[in-house]
Amino acid sequence: MDFEKILGKCLEQSPNQEEALLLLQASRTPDKAIKIFAAACEVRDRELGRVFKLDSEIAPVAPCKIKPFCNYCTFSREVLTPEEVLEGLKLAEETGIADIRLSGGSDLTNDGSDVVELVRLVKANTTLRVHLNIGPVYSKENLVKLKELGVIEVGSSLETINPEVFKRTKPGDSLDLRIETARAINNTGLKLQSIIMAGLGSFEKDYIKHLFFLKELKNLSHLPISRFNPFKGTPMENRRRASPWEAARLCSVARLTLRTPDIRIAAGGGPDDIPLWLMAGGNRITSVFIHQEKCEPERFSGENPLHIRRNFIKNMEVVDRSSICRSFAEEAGFEVYPAQKQQQAAAPKI
């Protein structure tokens, strides 16, 4: 297969599975990668504009009942109360970010009724656009209710589509149920978000199989790509951190394959990844985190405390790195959503 020919085709249409694998393999070397990245950028700019999006997250809003926990996980075992979630929404509104994701743990025996109740409460108390990344096995009825409540996106993430890697790293979770739930969300007509984790142990052919599984789901609107990060005290603490290069290469081939979904720098990545991400066809990051104060205390410790705002308010921490994310994207010639004046208008007047 001719590399240049495939790349030319990708400007107009998605590659097939064989072509996508060839591109991912070719992207190991920078000379080829730069051409693939350029094609991915052309597709992103045409489909979505040269716009970098900021969103926010509040977590954990639901406990994780997976046993044993995933081998890389440091998610807080303490959950925000509904009152704290409402308090957190106000803090999120003050940052001026228009989209909030309610994130929580997984429960394979739960049909999502608790999530519906929480969303009812949240929607009655905020004008923010609500997204969900919580892990029950939603019933069809509850997905319809979430759609009626006006939820923007609902998540079901596989992290890896390789069954052996899944079993080894997520022994208490179920790949089949994650796939089934992703399909059910898609079939209800809700927008779907679904995470791929780079560096968990998936091979290049797994990434391509995973992307083509997601491509079947026409309502996929958001692909977060996380970078494996070994945390002390977890069973995977000795595994090497995933390279930003692996994540960026995956981002570029994901853009060429999937075309229109937002592709976000997810957990394990941060503002310093923005330039490479923008070069590889990505377009989104979470810039505001509101979380239970014990949630991942080390997660932001490498970031410059003068340029991210970290405030403890009651039982919660607000991490706001919008300003640095915004400036890194603007320096690279991107418009940022929400625009700064919208963000400033929402900030409390002191």
Q: Does residue 171 have a cis peptide bond before it, meaning omega lies within 30 degrees of 0?
A: no
- Shortest spacing between CB 57 and ligand SF4, in angstroms: 13
Distance CA 203, CA 58 (A): 32
- Shortest spacing between CB 28 and ligand SF4, in angstroms: 29
- Shortest spacing between CB 162 and ligand SF4, in angstroms: 16
How long is the chain?
350
Distance CA 4, CA 17 (A): 16
- Answer yes or no whether residue 277 interacts with ligand SF4 by CB under 6 A: no
- Shortest spacing between CB 79 and ligand SF4, in angstroms: 11
CB under 6 A: which stretch of 14-22, 65-73, 231-239, 339-347 binds ligand SF4? 65-73
- Answer yes or no whether residue 136 interacts with ligand SF4 by CB under 6 A: no
CB under 6 A: which stretch of 31-39, 63-71, 214-222, 290-298 binds ligand SF4? 63-71
* Cβ–Cβ < 8 Å for 146, 119: yes
Residue of 37, 52, 69, 166 that binds ligand SF4 (CB under 6 A) = 69
Could you write out the DSSP letters of every residue in 224-261? EEEE----TTSTTTTSPPPPHHHHHHHHHHHHHHH-SS
Residue with smaller CB distance to ligand SF4, 103 or 188 = 103
What are the C-alpha distances in Å from 269 to residues 14, 60, 242?
26, 19, 10
Q: Which two tokens stand for residue 252?
A: 């570029």
- Answer yes or no whether residue 135 interacts with ligand SF4 by CB under 6 A: yes
- Shortest spacing between CB 188 and ligand SF4, in angstroms: 22
CB under 6 A: which stretch of 69-77, 223-231, 289-297, 321-329 binds ligand SF4? 69-77
Q: Does residue 338 have a cis peptide bond before it, meaning omega lies within 30 degrees of 0?
A: yes
Neighbours of 175 (CB within 10 A): 17
Query: Which 91-110 residues touch ligand SF4, going by CB under 6 A?
Result: 105-106
Residue with smaller CB distance to ligand SF4, 136 or 338 = 136
How many residues lie near ligand SF4 (CB under 6 A)? 10
Distance CA 99, CA 153 (A): 10
- Shortest spacing between CB 236 and ligand SF4, in angstroms: 11
Distance CA 210, CA 201 (A): 13
- Answer yes or no whether residue 70 interacts with ligand SF4 by CB under 6 A: yes
Q: Which residues bind ligand SF4 (CB under 6 A)?
A: 64, 66, 69-70, 73, 75, 105-106, 135, 173
